[in-house]
């Protein structure tokens, strides 16, 4: 990793009186919830939303506070912790892991806004949960003190259980001309919700459409997206460094955690069943006796390990730079995105191999492996971390090609 030291030093804001829980403690809390998550997984999938019991259990365990500033009672953890905790949750249920990842990422975005906005979100409710969509699918009109906004935003994961939303908005001047792209903080109570999430996988994330009709957004709840990408955010950076983390790379790798957990869950399920499951139309009494199965299981396990190594390298790059107050250079940013894409590519391949091992029974409605396959297939196509785009970005930077296909690097 190459970095230049341009960011302000860690702030003098005092940490909370109680020490923040460690990564190991938070992962252990997530693992302790896995029996509950597995018990509710089929219902979450069928009802297309995480059950209230599971949301309450995660909230009670403090697992929506990974990225909330410590002065509001949050943990202010690092990116590696975000990945490992959401992976442990997704090992129990993919939709719940995804909601936890999105809410913690959107909470991090809310913590980049000015202090007044943070007070409105976390000061008023330390347990606040934020959902978010960046696409600027809205119109805005400059008015005294802020903007009035109308629009629709699809795919707001966790919107059913969130109290605020971070949304994309084109920023206009007094003449109505678009001058910038912004993200804005809006109370969920000022938005309508339309049930539009009818999909094959991650069905329980309730990633529905939020609708604003001429909603007023005050200036202190508006932030430039290009500025944030370059590290220019109005928030106090806090004592831990989390809020100095590179913007776009965090958004990409932050969604890898649930997919790691889905890969681990698939491997665990298939290897446990292989001890008793026969291979039809062969003399093998169990799958575990077959050299062919042994080779495929080992291959899948190695791909899942590869995914972890790449995701953790990306997290280490981000966490180290943030703790030092450093900016990541373009090459490292591009590699973080490529690490994320390569991790996802390996996970999808590993789950495909495990489906082959487990056989046609994988696709039964009653099989947990079917749900894992559907969840991973949808998660692995998220626009922020798709492997092909990530590789193109990294390849261009490696080759010195100046063309940029996205600002989100």
pLDDT at residue number 237: 66
Instruction: Give the angle subtended at the CA of 39 by the CAs of 38 and 42, to the nearest 5°.
Output: 80
β-sheet bridge partners, residue 216? 148
Q: What is the dihedral of CA 2, 244, 408, 108, to 10 degrees?
A: 150
Alpha-carbon distance of 321 to 328, in angstroms, equals 7
With beta carbons less than 8 A apart as the criterion, state whether 3 and 330 touch: no
* DSSP letters for 180-238: EEEEEEEEGGGSEEE-----SSSGGG--EEEEEEEEEEEGGGEEEHHHHHTT---S--T
pLDDT at residue number 26: 98
pLDDT at residue number 1: 42
pLDDT at residue number 2: 38
Alpha-carbon distance of 130 to 112, in angstroms, equals 13
Instruction: Give the angle subtended at the CA of 305 by the CAs of 251 and 332, to the nearest 5°.
Output: 40
Read off the tokens for 80: 């590696």
CB atoms inside a 10 Å sphere around CB 63: 23
pLDDT at residue number 255: 93
Ranges of the chain whose pLDDT falls below 70: 1-17, 237-238
DSSP class of residue 287 equals: G
| Alpha carbon 390 to chain centroid, angstroms | 16
pLDDT at residue number 298: 98
| Alpha carbon 58 to chain centroid, angstroms | 16
DSSP class of residue 402 equals: -
Alpha-carbon distance of 62 to 52, in angstroms, equals 15
In which residue are the tokens 């804001």 written? 13
Burial class (CB in 10 A: 0-12, 13-18, 19+), 200: exposed
β-sheet bridge partners, residue 146? 143, 218
Read off the tokens for 397: 């930077």
Pairing assessment for the beta strands 130-133 and 164-172 based on DSSP bridges: parallel
pLDDT at residue number 11: 44
Neighbouring residues of 22: CB distance < 8 A, sequence distance ≥ 6 = none
pLDDT at residue number 386: 87
pLDDT at residue number 7: 42
* Fold of domain 130-223: Butyryl-CoA Dehydrogenase, subunit A; domain 2 (2.40.110)
pLDDT at residue number 384: 83
Please state the pTM of the whole predicted model: 0.94
Alpha-carbon distance of 333 to 396, in angstroms, equals 12
Architecture of the domain delimited by 245-399: Up-down Bundle (1.20)
Separation of first and last alpha carbons in the chain: 15
Domain boundaries, the chain: 23-123, 130-223, 245-399
* Fold of domain 23-123: Butyryl-Coa Dehydrogenase, subunit A; domain 1 (1.10.540)
């Amino acid at each position: 990793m190459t970095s230049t030291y341009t960011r302000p030093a860690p702030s003098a804001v005092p940490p909370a009186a109680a020490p923040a829980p460690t990564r190991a403690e938070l992962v252990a809390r997530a693992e302790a919830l896995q029996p509950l998550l597995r018990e509710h997984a089929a219902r979450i999938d069928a009802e297309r939303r995480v059950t209230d019991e599971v949301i309450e259990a995660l909230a009670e365990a403090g697992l929506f506070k990974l990225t909330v500033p410590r002065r509001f009672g949050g943990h202010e953890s690092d990116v590696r912790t975000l990945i490992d905790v959401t992976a442990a949750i997704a090992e129990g249920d993919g939709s719940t892991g995804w909601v936890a990842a999105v809410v913690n990422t959107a909470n991090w975005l809310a913590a980049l806004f000015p202090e007044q906005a943070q007070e409105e979100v976390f000061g008023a409710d330390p347990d606040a949960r934020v959902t978010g969509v960046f696409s600027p699918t809205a119109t805005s009109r400059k008015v005294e003190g802020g903007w009035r906004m109308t629009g629709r935003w699809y795919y707001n994961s966790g919107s059913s259980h969130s109290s605020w939303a971070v949304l994309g908005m084109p920023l206009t001047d007094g003449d109505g001309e678009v001058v910038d792209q912004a993200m804005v903080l809006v109370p969920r109570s000022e938005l309508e919700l339309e049930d539009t999430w009818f999909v094959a996988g991650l069905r329980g994330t309730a990633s529905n459409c939020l609708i604003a009709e001429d909603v007023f957004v005050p200036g202190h709840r508006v932030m430039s997206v290009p500025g944030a990408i370059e590290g220019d955010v109005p928030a106090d950076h806090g004592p831990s460094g989390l809020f100095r983390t590179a913007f776009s790379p965090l958004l990409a790798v932050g969604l890898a955690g649930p997919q790691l957990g889905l890969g681990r869950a698939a491997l665990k399920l298939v290897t446990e069943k292989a001890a008793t499951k026969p291979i039809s139309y062969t003399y093998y009494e169990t799958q575990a006796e077959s050299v062919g199965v042994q080779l495929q299981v080992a291959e899948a396990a190695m791909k899942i390990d590869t995914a972890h190594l790449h995701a953790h390298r990306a997290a280490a790059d981000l966490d180290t730079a943030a703790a030092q107050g450093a900016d990541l250079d373009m090459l490292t940013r591009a590699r973080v995105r490529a690490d994320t894409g390569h991790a996802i590519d390996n996970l999808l391949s590993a789950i495909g191999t495990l489906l082959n091992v487990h056989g046609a029974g994988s696709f039964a409605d009653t099989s947990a492996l079917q749900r894992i396959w559907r969840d991973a297939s949808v998660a692995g196509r998220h626009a922020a971390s798709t492997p092909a785009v990530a590789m193109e970005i990294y390849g261009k930077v490696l080759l010195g090609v100046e063309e940029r296909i996205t600002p989100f690097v």
